[in-house]
Amino acid sequence: MHEMSLAEGVLQLIEDAARRDRFNQVSTVWLEIGQLSGVEPQAMAFCFDAVTRGSVAEGARLEIIATPGQGWCPTCAKTVPMTELFAECPSCGGYPLQVIGGTEMRVKELEVS
């Protein structure tokens, strides 16, 4: 389950921010997860709860913001929505689409005290 290592990375970012910005507790974490990222949101939430025990983010609410996949079709020169990698263009049926969005995962915001 690669979500465990991703959750550990998110915690590291939070702990680095806590040292830098001098806060003691995180109450909410907003995490953007792209639809094409390969990250399962429910697994990420489970792993986040596990890795944050005993940290500044223990008990923090994890708000997952799903970001849609987007691709560029070289055949019809359009930006189109994508729900899976290696998909054909929903506009013209062209193949392959160049992925231009929805593969990322990032900490968008923290609510701290």
* Other beta carbons within 10 Å of 47: 22
**What percent of the chain shows pLDDT beyond 70?**
99
Residues near 109 by Cβ (< 8 Å), separated by ≥ 6?
A: 28, 29, 30
Can you count the helices (H) and strands (E) in the chain? 2, 6
| Domains recognised in the chain with CATH numbers | 2-112 (3.30.2320.80)
Q: End-to-end CA distance of the chain, in Å?
A: 31
What confidence tier does 95 reach under pLDDT thresholds 50, 70, 90?
confident
Residue 71 parent element (H or E):
strand 69-73
What confidence tier does 44 reach under pLDDT thresholds 50, 70, 90?
very high
